[in-house]
């Protein structure tokens, strides 16, 4: 059984495209940046679900202008069922033939959790959290001679 709050250090981006108008490169870039920079998650693959030959041709053209490593991670699949070859059903949402909850269900659960009485009490408690300066070491020697309290093993200045 999975833990209540299980975290992964990699992700696969899956998007279902009906036609070329659905392809938004800027939003893909923003999602990728937020995964990598904000959450520290490595993108293992981008899977576009589309039966359109136009999208398949466009992806092949784009792959020619990017590195082989990145191009290898971009894939076009014809149907959601073909994702089962790449991802186990336990990781896919129900609408893609998997066992996980949809984004809407996850959003509703998050709102419910963040609105819960226990979370509100926790946030009120954290609002008043601070350090007790009386417990801080009083090391005047370093301040007088070095200018900074504490010790440094390596100090690198550019």
**What pLDDT, in 10s, does the model give residues 42-92?**
878 888 888 888 888 888 998 898 888 888 988 888 888 888 888 888 888
Residue 125 Cα to chain centre, angstroms: 28
Edge to edge, the sheet with strand 10-16 lists: 10-16, 42-49, 74-77
For the ranges 14-23, 24-33, 77-86, 105-114, the lowest mean pLDDT is seen at 14-23
> What confidence tier does 2 reach under pLDDT thresholds 50, 70, 90?
very low
Instruction: State residue 1's pLDDT score.
Output: 39
The model carries a pTM of 0.59
Instruction: End-to-end CA distance of the chain: give it in Å, rounded.
Output: 49
Q: Is-contact 85 91, C-beta < 8 A? A: no
CA 25/CA 65 separation, integer angstroms: 15
**What pLDDT, in 10s, does the model give residues 116-158?**
999 999 999 999 998 888 887 766 655 555 555 556 566 677 6
Tokens of 134: 């009386």
Going by C-alpha positions, the residue among 38, 39, 58 that lies closest to residue 48 is: 58
Alpha helices in the chain (DSSP H): 25-33, 53-63, 68-73, 103-114, 117-127, 140-145
């Amino acid at each position: 059984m999975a833990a209540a709050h299980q975290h992964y250090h990699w992700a696969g981006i899956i998007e279902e495209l009906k036609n070329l108008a659905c392809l938004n490169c800027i939003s893909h870039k923003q999602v990728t940046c937020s995964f990598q920079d904000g959450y520290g998650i490595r993108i293992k693959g981008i899977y576009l679900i589309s039966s359109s030959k136009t999208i398949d041709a466009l992806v092949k053209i784009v792959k020619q202008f990017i590195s082989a490593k990145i191009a290898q991670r971009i894939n076009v699949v014809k149907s959601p069922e073909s994702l089962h070859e790449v991802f186990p059903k336990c990781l896919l949402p129900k609408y893609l033939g998997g066992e996980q909850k949809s984004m809407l269900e996850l959003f509703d659960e998050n709102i419910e959790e963040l609105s819960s009485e226990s979370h509100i009490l926790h946030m009120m408690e954290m609002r008043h959290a601070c350090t007790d300066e009386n417990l801080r070491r009083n090391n005047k020697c370093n301040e007088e001679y070095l200018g900074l309290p504490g010790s440094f093993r390596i100090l690198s200045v550019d």
